[in-house]
């Protein structure tokens, strides 16, 4: 797929894989996005194991790294066929999420692209802990892509709760729509009936801002759990992408993102762009 335009200014993409089917969608999306944006791609896989393991089983670690290097070389060849410059990065660490964030900071990446481990039943409400922790700690936006889901931009859904974190996501969504001439859907949820005026005020503000920029905006306000409202709105609108904010916190709480964002990513049928507020 060749996108008509680049959705955001993206010079460097950090595309994360763990050689599993769950990360395949992220790899494909990352390469397609890089082709449209003429971005440089850094293909990262982290070999995660406890401290001291390499000393106890050096041959196993060496063989593991060889297999990972071969997998990444195959992806790099795909990138080259698409005209996308790509570099391979292999990290050894006892905490994969920390290594990913460190690499993003080191490379000054504009976006992290990674997969979500799809699950069933109640556990589907949650995503893989590595993805969640990366989002909580990342200084840059994170695009989470379900397995084998094509990345497209025709219908972008922005979830807004009136917070500064949602405001950052809203600004990113507006920029994307200006670049791509995509359809934009805004949704705000009220947990209870008495919160409806507040949710309605959020969408009215969005309508006014979009109108001033000459952007058409469809809005939806519903009562219910925010993650359920957002997922239902995305399904109803057949959205290609959900854009959301993430709580940017300090200390141990930064390891977790807002529970609504986590639950939406865990249930979403389409990619989710988590926009980090610039402090």
Would residue 39 count as lying in a domain?
A: yes
pLDDT for the residue 128 = 62
pLDDT bin (cut points 50, 70, 90) of residue 257 is: very low
- Over the range 167-199, which residues count as b (16 or more CB within 10 Å of their CB) and which as e? bbbbebbbebbebbebbbbbbbbbeeeeebeeb
Q: Is the pLDDT of residue 117 over 80?
A: no
Judgement on whether residues 66 and 182 belong to the same structural domain of the protein = no
Would residue 2 count as lying in a domain?
A: no
Judgement on whether residues 194 and 231 belong to the same structural domain of the protein = yes
225 Cα distance to chain centroid: 21
Judgement on whether residues 264 and 175 belong to the same structural domain of the protein = yes
Phi, psi values for residue 189, rounded to 5°: -110, 140
Which of residues 145, 170, 201 is at a domain's end? 145
- Are 6 and 179 within 8 A, CB to CB? yes
Number of structural domains found in the chain: 2
Would residue 7 count as lying in a domain?
A: no
Pairwise CA distance, residues 220 & 229, whole Å: 9
Q: What tens digit of pLDDT does each residue of 131-168 get?
A: 888 998 999 999 999 887 888 889 999 999 999 999 99
Would residue 4 count as lying in a domain?
A: no
**Assessment of whether the complete model's pTM goes beyond 0.85:** yes
pLDDT for the residue 247 = 61
Domain that holds residue 94: 12-145
Would residue 1 count as lying in a domain?
A: no
Pairwise CA distance, residues 244 & 188, whole Å: 11
Judgement on whether residues 24 and 69 belong to the same structural domain of the protein = yes
pLDDT for the residue 22 = 81
Would residue 106 count as lying in a domain?
A: yes
- Are 242 and 172 within 8 A, CB to CB? no
- Nearest CA to 112 out of 84, 75, 92, 140 is that of 140
Which of residues 90, 119, 145 is at a domain's end? 145
- Nearest CA to 186 out of 163, 157, 216 is that of 157
Judgement on whether residues 160 and 139 belong to the same structural domain of the protein = no
Which of residues 91, 118, 145 is at a domain's end? 145
77-91, 122-136, 212-226: the lowest-pLDDT one: 122-136
Q: What tens digit of pLDDT does each residue of 14-68 get?
A: 999 998 888 888 999 999 999 999 999 999 999 999 999 988 899 999 999 999 9
**Averaged over 166-183, what is the pLDDT?**
94
- Are 33 and 2 within 8 A, CB to CB? no
- Are 92 and 54 within 8 A, CB to CB? yes
**Averaged over 187-207, what is the pLDDT?**
95
């Amino acid at each position: 797929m060749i996108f008509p335009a680049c959705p955001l200014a993206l010079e460097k993409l950090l595309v994360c894989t763990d050689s599993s089917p769950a990360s395949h969608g992220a790899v494909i999306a990352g390469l397609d996005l890089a082709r449209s944006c003429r971005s440089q791609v850094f293909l990262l896989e982290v070999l995660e194991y406890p401290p001291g393991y390499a000393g106890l089983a050096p041959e196993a670690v060496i063989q593991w790294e060889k297999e990972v290097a071969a997998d990444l070389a195959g992806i790099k060849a795909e990138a080259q066929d698409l005209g996308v410059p790509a570099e391979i990065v292999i990290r050894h660490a006892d905490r994969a999420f920390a290594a990913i964030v460190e690499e993003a900071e080191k490379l000054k990446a504009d976006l992290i692209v990674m997969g979500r481990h799809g699950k069933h039943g109640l556990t589907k409400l949650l995503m893989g802990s590595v993805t969640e922790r990366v989002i909580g700690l990342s200084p840059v936006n994170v695009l989470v892509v379900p397995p084998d889901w094509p990345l497209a931009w025709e219908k972008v859904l922005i979830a807004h709760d009136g917070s500064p974190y949602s405001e950052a996501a809203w600004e990113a969504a507006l920029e994307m729509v200006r670049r791509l001439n995509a359809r934009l859907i805004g949704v705000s949820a009220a947990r209870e009936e008495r919160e409806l005026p507040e949710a309605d005020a959020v969408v009215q503000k969005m309508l006014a801002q979009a109108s001033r920029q000459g952007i058409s905006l469809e809005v939806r306000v519903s009562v219910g759990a925010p993650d359920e409202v957002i997922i239902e709105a995305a399904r109803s609108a057949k959205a290609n992408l959900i854009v959301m904010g993430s709580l940017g916190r300090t200390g141990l709480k930064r390891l977790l993102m807002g529970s609504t964002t986590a639950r939406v990513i865990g249930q979403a049928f389409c990619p989710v762009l988590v926009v980090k507020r610039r402090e």
